[in-house]
Amino acid sequence: MNRPLAPLTDEERAIYEWQIWVRDFGEEGQQRLKNASVMISRCGGLGGVVAYELAAAGVGKLVLAHGGCARPSDLNRQLLVTYESLGRPRIETMTRRLLDLNPRLEIVAVGENVNEDNAARLVEQADVVVDCAPMFEERLAMNRQAVLQRKPLVECAMFDLEATITTVQPGNTPCLACWCPSVPPTWKRQFPVFGAVSGTVGCLGAMEAIKLIAGFGQPLFNRMLRLDLRDMTTQTVSLVRNPNCAVCGSLPRA
Amino acid sequence: MRILVNGEPKTVRPNVTVADLLVELKVSPQHVAVEINRQLIPRRLHGETRLAEGDQMEVVTLVGGG
């Protein structure tokens, strides 16, 4: 991210004024967001909130991957999907909702979920990746490409009232495969979820991406934050690299 | 014997294995990653890896919902 930064317009200064006041962020941080691109793997209950917060914060470009058509059971949590869009491709309503909020946003909209074939070209287009997919196959494909391309990856996930989030900096922190080398055999496509839980971890993931891009604060490197919204407890677990990791084990420190 | 599980003190049987402790903690071994004293313990070694007094164990639940 060392290319020259396009300056803010007067309109952008007015829109982002209140966040430019944030300590250690400032106008330079805003310029970094404007000049950055973020790839979000699925924009449902979790990723939709990541995308909306990053669109609101003024990230210049979002690369979005989400397949399928909107279903009634999306509406309890997928805040970018609308009642009117039921039956239509989710990626269309997601794109429209984001542009309603921020028409300056550049969106690369891909109407398919991440897989081994498309992961490389999706990651190529982004400075930061936020992984919000509900299937470990997608997560592991995204992780592999983020490591190969040495792109920071925010791993956000939830189940029931529990949420976890950690940030991977390939070579310097464990990657997803260090502690989850293969698809957990009993994980199912459908899982219990309130939108308020997936949205909570979505907001945290968006903030991680903002910090990574603007270069301030301490991202969740080598740490996993776990939240249990059932009893309102939090835990920070230390994570270590697996020297035998098939994905990042041979990667030297950056 | 006293150990720390996710930062919380816990009394467990002396020299208990990771696999047995996960059963006692009612945690499915297929859904967790385990670290002892900051070393990741691969799942295949859970049955033969024994805990010692003062060990720090981290149990990381694998959740993948999005």
Average the pLDDT over A168-179 and give the result. 95
Highest mean pLDDT among A143-157, A239-253, B25-39: A143-157
| Among chain B residues, CA nearest to A235 | B6
Res. A229: pLDDT tops 90: yes
A235 with B6: Cβ contact below 8 A: yes
- Whether residue B63 contacts residue A158, with contact meaning beta carbons closer than 8 Å, is answered with yes
Q: Which pair of tokens denotes residue B40?
A: 């990741």
| Chain B residues whose beta carbon lies within 8 Å of the beta carbon of residue A42 | 66
Average the pLDDT over A94-104 and give the result. 98
Instruction: For residue B56, give how far its alpha carbon lies from the nearest alpha carbon of chain A (Å).
Output: 11
**Per-residue confidence band for B44, with pLDDT thresholds at 50, 70 and 90:** confident
Q: Nearest 5°: phi and psi at A232?
A: 55, 50
Query: What's residue A38's pLDDT?
Result: 98
- Taking only the tens place, the pLDDT of each residue in B16-43 is 999 999 999 988 777 788 989 988 888 8
DSSP state letters, A70-93: --GGGTTT-TT--GGGTTSBHHHH
B40–chain A Cβ distance below 8 A for any pair? yes
| Among chain B residues, CA nearest to A190 | B65
Write down the pTM of the prediction.
0.93
Architecture of domain A10-238: 3-Layer(aba) Sandwich (3.40)
Res. A1: pLDDT tops 80: no
Query: What's residue A184's pLDDT?
Result: 85
The pLDDT mean for chain A works out to 96
Res. A71: pLDDT tops 70: yes
Average the pLDDT over A92-108 and give the result. 98
- Whether residue A87 contacts residue A134, with contact meaning beta carbons closer than 8 Å, is answered with no
Residues A123, A143: Cα–Cα separation, whole Å: 10
Which ipTM was obtained for this model? Answer: 0.77
Query: What's residue A2's pLDDT?
Result: 63
- Taking only the tens place, the pLDDT of each residue in A75-95 is 999 999 999 999 999 999 999
Select from A46, A226, A240 the Cβ nearest to the Cβ of B66: A46
B14–chain A Cβ distance below 8 A for any pair? no
